[in-house]
Structure 1
Amino acid sequence: MAVRSDTPPTPWLTQALPRLRGLEPTRSYGYAGELLHDDGRGDMQAYGARVGDLALRLGEALLAYGGSAEEAVAGMLVVAETYGLSYCEPGVTLATVSLSGYAPGELTPLHASRVIRKHATDFRTLSRIHRLVDRISARELDLDEARAETARVLDGPPAPGGRWRVPVQTGLVAAGGSVVFGGGPQTSLVSFVAGLLGAFLAGWLGRHGVPAFYRYAVASMPAGALALAVSGTAPPSAVQAIVVAGVLGLLPTVTFVSAIQDALTGHYLTALGRLCDALLVFAAVVTGVVVVLGLGDLAGIKVPIVPTTVRADYLGAPAVGAVVFAVAVAARARTPRRDWLPAAALGLGAFVVSVEFRAFGFSSLVGTALVASVVGGAGYLVARRRRESALPLVVPGIAPLLPGGALYASLSALASGRTTVGIAGLVNVAAVTLALAVGVGLSGEVGQLVRRVRGRAA
């Protein structure tokens, strides 16, 4: 059995960050030339291989289920060194995790890597992995117990709901988003159908091996088609709400936020890979909608351009839509249900404050970055107390801040042949989304800085 400690340990991510960022001298973690010590086990090489396999599997899972590259590297480092490996060097490069190190008493280094072939945002599993690594760092589990617990977390039965879970939840995301951007009950229903059909088509194509670009291009088409279908009888705000809601339900928000976090923490190759993935999906969604709206324009069906939400609206239906939107995003990402209420509160607060900032004349970039920083700070504070990842709270909380109105104006401009205006609008959309991601990352870094300063002062 593992040695159990009654003293609460430092959270494992906080424990590993100083070393990963070069804030500790190298001699403090095994590079001063000291000898490797045998702890008495018979076959150290086989033991080290089992430790390396466990560390790699947990690192792969952290990255695949939505964690940052730094979280994956820290998790592998903490697990490997807790079970006795020394001179450990974990790494993440694009879709590969690797680990090298020495088992006690062995002169031949261990080295192994795993390729991540499938990514799936699953914050429930991510939280369970965080808790498992926390228990490992606290020495509550021996190696065999940790391997068995990892198998239970990662090899358990699939999520209930089957193939219809994600389409229905995507429809709910679109329904909530349509209310945020000016739609009513009927518009919300149409948006739900658009989101459901789009996600179902994307899932069906994915099961047949179709690349992501084509999947998301096809998935975005129902929103444009239904918007054109109701444009003759529905008010202009309803057409905008359907298009925006259908698109926002498909945008890779988690991937984009993770890419910016990886870039800010020095994992440039991984950030580049995630950013390319996010931009490819974004381009596919834009392409699908523009094709449908462009065909409608050729047929004489023009989509109107309407203003975005103004200050007087936020006390009414858009505020309810922001709550539904945030909770639906949380549910689709398999966030634990105990986090739905905090996510709803963060989403509502972010939406209300962002509308107020707009009324006071703040630019979209500055206002978005400030609100995202506050949302990120609140999420990281709660996550630190729970010793879990902050993403399950932060991502749903910033969802109502996505620039839907600007995105709609850009899409309509591209569909009507005003290419320069449309591209300029998409650049603005990308800049606002970047401000979201940077604001979220900034709050986390400020929290880490405050903890390090307090630790040194103590």
Structure 2
Amino acid sequence: MTTSAPQTLRIMDLALRAGEMLLSNGAGTADVSATMSSIARHFGLRGTYVDVTYIMLTMVHDQQLDEPPLILRRNVVRRETDFEDVTAIDRLVSDLLNDEIDLDEARSRLASISASGHARPRWVVIGGAGLVGAGVAMMLGGEAMVTAIAFLAAVVIEYVRRPLEVRRLPDFYIQVVGGLCASLIAVTAAAASVPSPPSLVIAANIVVLLAGLGLMGAIQDALTGYHLTAVARLLEVVLATGGIVAGVSGGIMVGRMLGVDLGSGTSWPDISHLPFVTIGAGLAAAGFAVQTYAPWSSVPVIAAIGAGAGALSAAMFQNNIDRPWAAGIAAFLIGVVSYPASRALRIPALVLVVPAIVPLLPGLTIYRSLAQLSEESLSGIFAGITAMAVAVALAAGVILGEYAAQPLGRETRRLERRLSGPRLVGPFRAKSRRK
């Protein structure tokens, strides 16, 4: 099918805008590239090249040999993660590839999605962050008072971070402020003799601060061959995590100056605490789903998957399975379960797996590492290595689970060979339009 240059540019612009929204909301480079290429192929643009970096998208369409190529670029604007937008884009592309809408309607719908903003009130989003903190504190064995303080600390952190984000302060400094808030609230709780380790408040809110980082996208890019983008994303994650470490360390230092000892953290609760671990993991996963604007219909499913994964990981760890392996196996099952669930709900798997792994993030291990290093103990180095291993195991396990769950039919195998890996968002088949 032959298209004119203006029509080709309109198709390329649609693909670029859809790809930009997916990439800015945490989608992997392979998923973004495949989605953009699928749109181009659907309209018969065969000689189209897609290049995705962390800050820019480029599409090049070769016309006739004696004509210059058409080139469009689009900068990737940093956005607050909005899984409702990701779901809307995924459904739009699906409708387009199934010929349920035409190019003009697709462009109109995409413009509406981009301009609609967040439908969820801000106080609900902040409450979701509080649920993440409270849920993780419950998982770690915190009593009612500590769970309430963890909830309050997460709410305070979100209130403090929001104006800093509006003022475009770099993420490193925002994470420093968040970590400092968490640790100072824990110092206050310890000074008030709260009857449960206030260090759990810090560990829980480290998870709150880690949850928004794009670790899974970085690992997915690394595993699927997009190493340049993976390095950029990993550097951003490392800097943001460094900010958390600096903020928490500063709070621990202030506590020591005031004569308040937060301790080096508690041990994981025993198997008798498993019901609370399950409930806490479900709350944390649901809270992050609310915080990232996941569709309401998906929140109960996310809570159930997160609760099951949290319980499984805790049970394996209590049976002498190393933390990275326990986290990786639980994450693998998250990926396996999330694929059919996402198909049933008509939402991208990304919307399910990212919140579901939040309860498994190594907040307590990171706190132990910091506390032990502040005491000049070399054990802190090994705790830090364990935390990194857990984080990588979570991302790699989820992606492997998605790969194992996806159909292995002939068409899918061919597509996956072209995409170099599993998919978390976007179409699985690119159907060209019939003349």
CA contact (8 A) 2:179 2:247 kept: yes
Match in the other structure for 1:121: 81
Q: 1:452 to 1:302 in 2, by over 3 A?
A: farther
Give a deviation string over 1:274-293, Cα, whole Å, max 9, x none. Answer: 11111111110111011110
Match in the other structure for 1:434: 392
Q: 1:78 to 1:349 in 2, by over 3 A?
A: same
Match in the other structure for 1:197: 156
Q: Partners of 2:288 and 2:409 in 1: how far apart?
A: 31
1:447 matched to 2:405? The reply is: yes
Pairing 1:234-253 to 2, within 5 Å after superposition: 234=193, 237-252=196-211
Kindly provide the amino acid, as one letter, of the partner of residue 81 in structure 2.
T
Q: Partners of 2:145 and 2:410 in 1: how far apart?
A: 52
Give a deviation string over 1:299-339, Cα, whole Å, max 9, x none. Answer: 32111232112211112x33222221111011111111111
Match in the other structure for 2:2: 38
Match in the other structure for 1:154: 114
The DSSP-based 3-state class of the residue aligned with 2:209 is: coil
The DSSP-based 3-state class of the residue aligned with 1:314 is: helix
Match in the other structure for 2:181: 222
TM-score normalized by structure 2?
A: 0.89
Give a deviation string over 1:176-234, Cα, whole Å, max 9, x none. Answer: 21111111222122112211111222111122232111111011212111111121454
CA contact (8 A) 1:297 1:416 kept: no
Match in the other structure for 1:88: 48
Kindly provide the amino acid, as one letter, of the partner of residue 144 in structure 1.
D
Q: 1:238, CA displacement in angstroms?
A: 3.2
Q: Partners of 1:242 and 1:347 in 2: how far apart?
A: 20
CA contact (8 A) 1:84 1:103 kept: no
The DSSP-based 3-state class of the residue aligned with 1:91 is: strand
Q: 1:279 to 1:166 in 2, by over 3 A?
A: farther
Q: 1:79 to 1:104 in 2, by over 3 A?
A: farther
Kindly provide the amino acid, as one letter, of the partner of residue 327 in structure 1.
A
Kindly provide the amino acid, as one letter, of the partner of residue 234 in structure 2.
L
CA contact (8 A) 1:181 1:404 kept: no
CA contact (8 A) 1:175 1:189 kept: yes
Q: Partners of 2:96 and 2:67 in 1: how far apart?
A: 26
Q: 1:454 to 1:125 in 2, by over 3 A?
A: closer
Give a deviation string over 1:2-31, Cα, whole Å, max 9, x none. Answer: xxxxxxxxxxxxxxxxxxxxxxxxxxxxxx
Q: Residue 265 of structure 1 is aligned with which of 224, 237, 253?
A: 224
Q: 1:132, CA displacement in angstroms?
A: 0.6
Q: Partners of 1:123 and 1:106 in 2: how far apart?
A: 44
1:97 matched to 2:57? The reply is: yes
Q: 1:325 to 1:454 in 2, by over 3 A?
A: closer
Q: 1:106 to 1:181 in 2, by over 3 A?
A: farther
Q: 1:385, CA displacement in angstroms?
A: 4.1
Larger radius of gyration: 1
CA contact (8 A) 1:406 1:425 kept: yes
Q: Partners of 2:412 and 2:26 in 1: how far apart?
A: 30
Q: Partners of 1:409 and 1:79 in 2: how far apart?
A: 48
Kindly provide the amino acid, as one letter, of the partner of residue 54 in structure 1.
L
Gaps (5+ residues) in structure 2?
Answer: 415-435
Q: Partners of 1:212 and 1:455 in 2: how far apart?
A: 39
Q: 1:113 to 1:101 in 2, by over 3 A?
A: same
How many residue pairs match? The answer is 413
Q: Residue 333 of structure 1 is aligned with which of 292, 298, 302?
A: 292
Give a deviation string over 1:128-185, Cα, whole Å, max 9, x none. Answer: 10111111111222111111111111111433324x4443322221122111111122
Q: Residue 237 of structure 2 is aligned with which of 264, 267, 278?
A: 278
CA contact (8 A) 2:197 2:262 kept: no
Q: Partners of 1:89 and 1:284 in 2: how far apart?
A: 38
Q: Partners of 1:454 and 1:156 in 2: how far apart?
A: 34
Gaps (5+ residues) in structure 1?
Answer: 1-36
Kindly provide the amino acid, as one letter, of the partner of residue 213 in structure 1.
F
Q: Partners of 1:234 and 1:98 in 2: how far apart?
A: 57
Match in the other structure for 2:19: 59
CA contact (8 A) 2:183 2:251 kept: yes
Match in the other structure for 2:96: 136
Q: Partners of 2:106 and 2:214 in 1: how far apart?
A: 29
Of structures 1 and 2, the one scoring higher in RCO (CA 8 A, sep 6+) is 2
CA contact (8 A) 1:66 1:123 kept: no
Q: Partners of 2:57 and 2:198 in 1: how far apart?
A: 45
Q: 1:446, CA displacement in angstroms?
A: 2.2
CA contact (8 A) 1:368 1:401 kept: yes
Q: Partners of 2:281 and 2:87 in 1: how far apart?
A: 24
Q: Residue 188 of structure 1 is aligned with which of 147, 150, 153?
A: 147
Q: Partners of 1:165 and 1:204 in 2: how far apart?
A: 17
Q: 1:83, CA displacement in angstroms?
A: 2.1
Q: Partners of 1:119 and 1:368 in 2: how far apart?
A: 29
Q: 1:103, CA displacement in angstroms?
A: 5.8
Kindly provide the amino acid, as one letter, of the partner of residue 60 in structure 2.
S
Q: Partners of 1:252 and 1:330 in 2: how far apart?
A: 11
Q: Residue 380 of structure 2 is aligned with which of 422, 432, 453?
A: 422
Match in the other structure for 2:34: 74
* Two-structure CA RMSD over aligned residues (Å): 2.2
CA contact (8 A) 2:204 2:364 kept: no
CA contact (8 A) 1:181 1:318 kept: yes
The DSSP-based 3-state class of the residue aligned with 2:202 is: helix
Q: 1:388 to 1:124 in 2, by over 3 A?
A: same
Match in the other structure for 1:379: 338
Q: 1:376, CA displacement in angstroms?
A: 0.9
Q: Partners of 2:294 and 2:247 in 1: how far apart?
A: 29
Give the percent of matched residue pairs that are identical in Structure 1 and Structure 2: 30
Q: 1:441, CA displacement in angstroms?
A: 0.9
